[in-house]
Structure 1
Amino acid sequence: MTQNAARTLPALPVAAIVATVLMWASSFVLIRYSAGELSPGPLALLRLLAGTVTLSALLLWVRRGNLHLPSRPALGLTALFGVIWFALYTVVFNLAGHYIDAGTIAMVVNLAPLMVGVGAVVFFKESFSSRLFAGMVVSLCGIGLITVAGSTGQLALAGLGIALLAAFLYAGGMLIQKLALRHTDPLTATWLACAAGTIALLPFLGATWDQLQTTSTPVILGAVYMGIGPTALGFWFWGYAMNHFPTGKVAACTLAVPAVVVVMSWLTLGEVPPLLGIIGGAVTLTGVAIAQLRRPARHVPQARPVR
C-alpha cells in the first residue's frame, strides 16, 4: 500500500506541469489574437483581474475561509514577484504580440530557463558549469538565426527585442518566486502575487474601460480565460510543481511550450514562423536543454534507520 502510494504521488506534480504547459501555450495564441482590439495594458489588467478573483475563490475554498498571510519579508517577495512576473512581464508579453507571430514569441521567451541558470550562478552562488556555458553559446547562435530572419522583413526586430525583455522579466520572476515559496505555500504566493500585479496595473483602468466599449466578446472571453487558466490555475500548478521538483527540471519543461504554440497558432490563426526562425528557435531551445542537463547522481547505499 505504501509502495503504491509512493509510486502514484509524482503523478499530480507531473499532471500540473502538463496542464500548465498547455494553458501557457494557449496564452501565446490568444495575445496574438487579441492584439488588434486590446492594447497591452488593458489586456493585462483584464487578465489579472480575472486571475485575482479566481485565486481568491480558490483560496477561500481550499482554506475554508481561514487565510494565513506570510511574514513581512515573504509578503515583500511575493509582491515583488507579482509586479515583475504578473504585471510587467504580462504587459511586455502582450506588446510582443503586436509585432511578431505567437510561435516566435514563444521560442524567444523560452530563453528564460537559461537565464534562470545564469541568475542562480549570480545571485545564489551556484557553480558555473560547462553545460551552462555550452547552452549559452548554442542559444546565442539560435537567437542570431532568429535575428537574421527578422532582418529579412519576415519578423520585426523590435518585436524580438520586446520578447527578449519579456524573457528577462520571466526569469527574474521565477527566481524571486522560488525565494517566496520558501516562506509560504504556492496558492497563497500566487494569490498575493496576482493581487500585487493587478494593483500595479490599475493606472490602465481608464483605458481598459474605454477599450471595452468596442472590444468583441470573444476577445473579452479570451482575456478572462487567460486570467482563470494560464494565470490563476497555471501559476498555482507551477508553484505546486516547483515544490516537488528541482527548479531547473521544472523550468526545462517549458521547452515544450513553443512546439505546442506553433501547432496551436497554425491551426487557429494560420500563422507559422519563417523557416529560418523555426531553425533558430530549435537551436535556441537545444541550448536551453543543454544548460538544464544534470548528470545523474551516484547512488550511495545507505543503512536503513532503526525504528
Structure 2
Amino acid sequence: MNASPRPRLLAAGAATVTVVLWASAFVAIRSAGDAYSPGALALGRLLAGTLALGALCVVRRVGWPPRSAWRGIAISGVLWFGVYMVVLNWGEQEVDAGTAALVVNVGPLLIALLGSRLLGDPLPPRLLAGMAVSFAGAVTVGLSMSGGGGSSLLGVALCLLAAVAYAAGVVAQKPALGRASALQVTTFGCLVGTVVCLPFAGQLVHEVAAAPASATLNMVYLGVFPTALAFTTWAYALARTTAGRMGATTYAVPALVVLMSWLVLGEVPGPLTLAGGALCLAGVAVSRSRSRATARVVTGEPRPEAPARESA
C-alpha cells in the first residue's frame, strides 16, 4: 500500500513535463513557421525526434514492439504524428491564433468521448465538470486572442481535422501501451509519422538552405523536446490513467502558452486572457481530482475481477 502513491506521482510528473513542453512548442512553431512550410516543418521536426528516440533505443537496447502493438502504433503514427502535425501547421497559417486555439481544444472532449465509446473508459462527473470549465477557459483565451489576423473556412476545417486526428491517435495509442513500452510506442509512432511526411522531403531540403539558423534550431528543438521527450512522457502517463483524463490535462497548455508568450515574447496578456488561463488550470485541477470511491477506476488500477491488461 505504501508503494502505490509513487507510480501516481511519477505519472503526474510525466504529464506535467508533457504539457510544459507542448506549450513551449507553440512559441517555437511561431518562429520556425516563418521560414518553413507546414509539411517541411512537420518532417524536419519528426526527423529530429526519430533520430533522438532511435539513439536512446540503441543506448537502452530497446527492441521492436510485439506484433500485437503495431496496429495501435501505426494508426497513432499516421494520424497523430503525421496528419495532425502537418494539418495543424497548415491550419494555423489560415486562421488567427485565437480561432486555432478554440477549434483545436475540441480534441480533449473528443478523446473523452471516443475513450468511453471504444475503450470503455469511465466518464466520472468530476472529469466532465473539469473539462467543461477548462473548455470555457480555452474559449475565453481564444476570444481574447482573436482578431489579430484573418480566418478562413479552410483554416477552421483544417484545425478541426487536426483535433479529430489528435483524438483518434490518442485513443488508438492507448491499447498499444498495454503491449509495448512508452519508449517503443513513441519511437515507432514517430518513425511512422516520418514516413508519412516523406513527400515533403524536397521542400525541407530547399527550405533548410534558405532558412535562418534560429528557425532551424527551433525545428530541431521541436523534434527533440516537444516530440521525442514530451510524447514519451505522455505515453508513460497515458499507460497509467484513462485517455479522457490525460486529454483533460492538456487544457493546461493554453494557460502555459499565455505565460510563456508573456515571458519569452513580451506579449502582455489582457485581463480576459488571464481569466481564461485561470479557468483552464482550475478545470484541470477538478478533472484530475479523485473521489475515494472512483480512485481505483480512474487511475487504471486493475479491479480484482478484471485482467491486469485492461488497465494498461
Shorter-chain TM-score range: 0.7 to 0.9
CA–CA separation in structure 1 for the residues paired with 2:219 and 2:188:
20
Q: Which has the higher contact order (CA 8 A, sep 6+)?
A: 1
Alpha-carbon distance in structure 2 between the residues aligned to 1:198 and 1:142: 34
1:141 & 1:250 partners in 2: Cα distance? 18
1:156-305 counterparts in 2 under 5 A?
156-158=150-152, 159-271=155-267, 295-297=291-293
- Which amino acid letter does the alignment assign opposite residue 297 of structure 1? A
Distance 1:274 1:83 in 2: 38
Give the letter for the 2:52 counterpart.
Answer: T
Task: Quickly say closer, same or farther: Cα 1:18–1:291, change in 2 above 3 A.
Answer: closer
Corresponding residue for 2:115? 120
RMSD of aligned Cα (Å): 3.4
Q: Distance in 1 between matches of 2:21 and 2:133?
A: 28
Comparing 83-92 with 107-116, greater Cα deviation is found at: 107-116
What percent identity do the matched residue pairs reach?
40
User: Paired residue for 1:82, among 71, 77, 82?
Assistant: 77
Q: TM-score by structure 2 length? A: 0.78
For 1:8-157, what aligned pairs fall within 5 Å after superposition? 8-63=6-61, 67-71=63-67, 73-98=68-93, 99-101=95-97, 105-106=100-101, 108-125=103-120, 153-154=147-148, 156-157=150-151
Report deviation, 1:168.
Answer: 2.0
- Cα distance, 1:128–1:57 mapped onto 2, change above 3 Å: closer
What is the alpha-carbon distance in structure 1 between the residues aligned to residue 69 and residue 32 of structure 2?
A: 35
1:77 and 1:220 mapped to 2: Cα distance? Answer: 31
- Whether the aligned pair in 2 keeps the contact of 1:114 and 1:288 (CA below 8 Å) is no
Partner Cα distance (1:245, 1:133) in 2: 16
Q: Note if contact 1:28-1:106 (Cα within 8 Å) is conserved in structure 2.
A: no
What runs of 5+ residues in structure 1 fail to find an aligned partner?
Answer: 301-307
Aligned length: 293
Return 5+ residue gaps in structure 2 as ranges.
297-312
> What is the CA deviation profile of residues 81-100 of structure 1, one whole-angstrom value per residue up to 9, with x for unaligned ones?
01111011111222244242
Q: Give me the whole-angstrom Cα distance separating, in 1, the residues matched to 2:248 and 2:135.
A: 17
Q: Distance in 1 between matches of 2:210 and 2:223?
A: 20
Q: How many Å separate the matches in 1 of 2:294 and 2:265?
A: 48
- Which residue is 2:303 aligned to? none
- Cα distance in structure 1, aligned partners of 2:238 and 2:132: 27
Is the CA contact (8 Å cut-off) linking 1:47 and 1:227 kept in structure 2?
Answer: yes
> Is contact 2:39–2:86 with CA below 8 Å preserved after alignment?
yes
CA radius of gyration, larger in: 1
Equivalent AA in structure 2 for residue 32 of structure 1 = R
